[in-house]
Amino acid sequence: MLPPRLIEELAKGKCVAFVGAGFSMGAGLPGWRNLLQDMLVYAGREGVRLGDREAIQSSIEAGDLLPAADELRERLGRDRFQRFMTSRFRSAELRPTNAHLALTDIPLSGIITTNYDKLIETAYTLRRGISPPTFTHEKYPEMAATLRDGGFYILKMHGCVDDIQSLILGTSDYKRLMQTNSALATFLTSVFLNRTILFLGYSLNDPGLVSLLDHLKGSYFEYSPRTYALAPEGALSSLRSRRIAADHGIEVITYRPSTPNHPELNLLLQQIADGANTLKCDSGRENPFTPAGSLAQDIRDWLQIGRAHV
For the chain, give the longest Cα–Cα distance.
64
- Max mean pLDDT among 16-25, 234-243, 278-287 falls in 16-25
| Closest alpha carbon to 30 in 21, 43, 40 | 21
Pick the most confident of 16-20, 187-191, 287-291: 16-20
Q: Looking at residues 195-208, what average pLDDT do you find?
A: 82
* Alpha-carbon gap, residue 124 to 105, rounded angstroms: 9
Amino acid identity for residue 128 in this structure:
R
Kindly give the pairing relationship between strand 154-156 and strand 134-136.
parallel
pLDDT, tens digit (0-9, with 9 covering 90-100), for 22-48: 899 989 999 889 999 999 999 999 999
What is the crossing angle of helices 182-194 and 207-220, to 10°? Answer: 60
> For 90-147, what is each residue's pLDDT tens digit?
988 899 999 999 999 999 999 999 999 999 999 999 998 888 899 998 887 888 888 7
Q: How many CB atoms lie within 10 A of CB 302?
A: 14
Three-class SS state of 193? helix
The pLDDT assigned to 190 comes to 86
Round to whole Å and give the CA distance between 105 and 109: 12
Alpha-carbon distance values, 133 to 108, 142, 150, 266, 283 (Å): 14, 9, 12, 24, 27
Span 149-175, average pLDDT: 88
Model confidence, pTM: 0.85
The span from the CA of 154 to the CA of 79, in Å, is 27
Question: In angstroms, how far is the first alpha carbon of the chain from the final one?
Answer: 25
pLDDT of residue 294: 37
Spatial separation of the C-alpha atoms in residues 248 and 242, rounded to whole Å: 10
For the four alpha carbons of 284, 290, 293 and 295, in that order, the dihedral sign comes to negative
pLDDT tens-place string over residues 158-169: 999 999 889 988
Tell me the sheet residues that pair with 247: none
Q: Report the sign of the C-alpha dihedral through residues 121, 2, 261, 38, in that order.
A: positive
Helix (H, G, I), strand (E, B) or coil at 251: strand
On the 0-12 / 13-18 / 19+ scale of CB atoms within 10 A, 77 is exposed
- Name the strand (E) or helix (H) holding 122: helix 119-128
Residue 293 has a pLDDT of 38
Strands (E), the chain: 15-19, 110-113, 134-136, 154-156, 196-200, 227-232, 250-255
Q: How confident is the model at residue 287 (pLDDT cuts 50, 70, 90)?
A: very low
Distance CA 111, CA 202 (A): 13
Mean model confidence pLDDT for the chain: 83
Helix (H, G, I), strand (E, B) or coil at 254: strand
